[in-house]
């Protein structure tokens, strides 16, 4: 995430650590492939996928669609 408030919430509420840059990506819609962001409010976990078939996988496990995370 590029949202610093979200970074701090994740560090405080879970086992996440860091703040290190993992990779550069394009803004949503700028590339040829968008990665959908999924969020599970029960666990605080996030998932990301560009595969249309993964929507069923994530939503059947309690995740909601949280918009487009990034594009490549």
Phi/psi at 56 (5° precision):
-60, -40
> What pTM was estimated for this model as a whole?
0.70
Dihedral angle at the C-alpha atoms of 51, 56, 58, 61, nearest 10 degrees?
-160
Give pLDDT tens digits for 36-70: 999 999 998 999 999 989 999 999 999 999 999 99
């Amino acid at each position: 995430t590029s949202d610093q408030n979200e970074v701090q919430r994740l560090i405080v509420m879970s086992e996440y650590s860091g703040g290190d840059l993992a990779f550069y990506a394009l803004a949503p819609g700028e590339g040829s492939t968008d990665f959908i962001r999924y969020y599970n409010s029960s666990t605080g976990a996030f998932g990301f996928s560009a595969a249309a078939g993964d929507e069923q996988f994530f939503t059947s496990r309690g995740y909601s669609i949280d918009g487009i995370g990034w594009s490549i």
